[in-house]
Amino acid sequence: MRSKVTVVGAGNVGATTALRIQQLGYTDVVLVDVVEDLPQGKALDMLEAGPVTGTDARVTGSNSYEESSDSDLVVITAGIARRPGMSRDDLLLTNMRITSSVTEQVVKYSPDCIIIAVTNPLDAMVQNIYETSGFPRNRVFGMAGILDTARFRTFIAEELNVSVEDVQALVLGGHGDDMVPLVRYTSVGGIPITELMAEEKIDQLVARTRAGGGEIVALLKEGSAYYAPSAAITQMVEAVLLDKKRILPACAYLEGEYGINGLCVGVPVKLGAGGVEQIMQIGLTEEERTALRHSAASVQELVDVMKKSKEEAAG
């Protein structure tokens, strides 16, 4: 029997993710969205691609969560993009309310699932989904580090004219301007990047990686990236469903690791059937530790805003 994955949100990221997962062939997909007929239409279109792509995996569209019941894994992409004139806190609190509502439904219908969060601002939304779900920390994590690392690897491969497959890199911290690309852990075919590229060029690529999402938004004029994000999500889905024990960067809830406690931040983890099966603790220089703490502090600011809003609503 095929496993079952639900994708919440049928926008560009969610729909493209659903298609990529369906094309794996070994898991059925439920696409959920509040817009009437939208997920049904997109799901039918994907299903009709099956005879061409050679997959019998089902895709079902729904405006409710009943169809998603007993999912093995749920990907939450639902939320709004930042609009002109909208403050950071407006975006944060709107998407907090959306992801809280979604998570309550996910927990109701799939109490044993693993949740991958994708909604921005990523790290804060992972924190909100984790707290709302009541799930153990291994079953709630976020996709960002794989995407950030993929961007860094792409830029390095282009600069050196080498295969992206031979570029290994690692990006820690929050998904934003304060992310921490670890140059010391970056290599090409096992050769340290510092042996192949001048420090000034490396700094330029680090800066471009940090601004990677914004670069695409500026080019598109409307909307944001979805091809690379959906590929990154699918890599996480595969790691869990096939119990691959992949070592990948993910936004996970830390309980003292890296000196961070009670906060969701991007770190390397082991991903398998149990979700985040291990937080991989690697040695950091004082400069790297400082950068990671700075990144975590930016996440904490957002979490504090959410906490204050929840307290005001409750009281």
User: In the chain, which ranges are E strands?
Assistant: 3-8, 27-32, 59-62, 73-76, 114-117, 140-142, 167-168, 171-172, 180-181, 187-188, 191-192, 246-255, 261-272, 275-279
Query: Known catalytic residue: 175?
Result: yes
Q: What is the DSSP secondary structure assignment for residue 141, as one 8-state letter? A: E
Contact yes or no for 250/149 (Cβ under 8 A): no
CA distance 97 to 107: 16
Measure CA 50 to chain center.
26
CA distance 70 to 109: 6
Does residue 61 sit in helix, strand or coil? strand
Continuous segment of H or E residues that includes residue 108: helix 88-109
Kindly state the tokens that stand for 102. 């979604």
Kindly state the tokens that stand for 141. 């994590």
Find the length of the chain: 315
Kindly state the tokens that stand for 7. 């994708």
Any idea of the CA torsion for 183, 185, 189, 190, to the nearest 10 degrees?
Answer: 130
Catalytic residue among 4, 139, 151, 175: 175
Contact yes or no for 175/121 (Cβ under 8 A): yes
Residues 6+ apart with CB under 8 A from 60: 28, 29, 30, 31, 43, 67
Active-site residue set: 175
